[in-house]
Amino acid sequence: MPDDPAFRLCRALADRRAVVEQAMALAAFLSGCAMWWLSPLHEPEPFVGIVIVVGAFVLAIVLMMTWSKRDEATTRTDDLILSGFSTEVDDTPIQRAVSHRLIAIEKPRSRRRLATDLRWRLKLAGGTVRPSAGYLRASVLPPLCPSERRVLLEEKALLLAMINRVEEAPVEPQALVILWRVVTTPATLDRQGDHSAGEELQRRLYSASKLIASDDLLRATARAEEGLAAPR
């Protein structure tokens, strides 16, 4: 049961809801303290100021935890989408999370952002990045390990075809999730992990190209797979 994507998403949503409720309760408490401290009816008591300062620090930590739980819930939602689950209704928390995620990644603006990030991925892999407005945003993307750079350069034509297709029209949601993970998944630093990271990236690119189901992409994928299967 713990390995079930729906179970993991349900637990992540519950954790996120609990942290959000804690943040709201703490914010309400601090607001009350601030109102008391600013009230003209009473002299400001020293301990109230201390409570506000300490509470603000704790609130900042809780907000960071909220952001972390939000990212975890998004990851678990993507896992469920990759398993084949899809819905347009939001009767349950799981359905609501998947439905909202599907709407978000299928928006034209989101697809254009994905295409831009993938192009920057290629530029970073090829070492052709120059100072520009988009470089600052690209510089915070997870670093590429050597095997990932090699795979991106080898599959450049395939990736560019997918980028153009994603920009032009909606595609299979599972393909969008896979391509987002190409952008956001950090590299593995050890040597053995470096090799496996390259293999995983190549597998993701092939899987995404087949899901997009473009004839040109399928032919490119088939040629690439024939090249891998050919004796060396």
Quote the CA–CA distance of 147 and 108 in Å, as a whole number. Answer: 31
Judge if pTM exceeds 0.85: no
Give the burial class of 179: count Cβ atoms within 10 A of its Cβ; 0-12 exposed, 13-18 middle, 19 or more buried: buried
Are the C-beta atoms of 2 and 8 separated by less than 8 Å?
yes
**Averaged pLDDT in 10-residue chunks for the chain of 232 residues:** 66 74 75 65 61 72 74 84 78 83 90 90 77 64 83 89 88 90 72 73 89 62 54 48
- Distances in whole angstroms, Cα of residue 219 to Cα of each of 130, 146, 198: 33, 27, 22
Query: 3-class SS at 54?
Result: helix
Q: At 19, which amino acid appears?
A: V
pLDDT in the model for residue 8: 74
Residue 1: its pLDDT value, please? 47
Tokens standing for 83?
Answer: 């398993």
Rounded Cα–Cα distance for residues 184 and 172 (Å): 19
**pLDDT at residue 191 in the model:** 54
CB atoms within 10 A of CB 232: 4
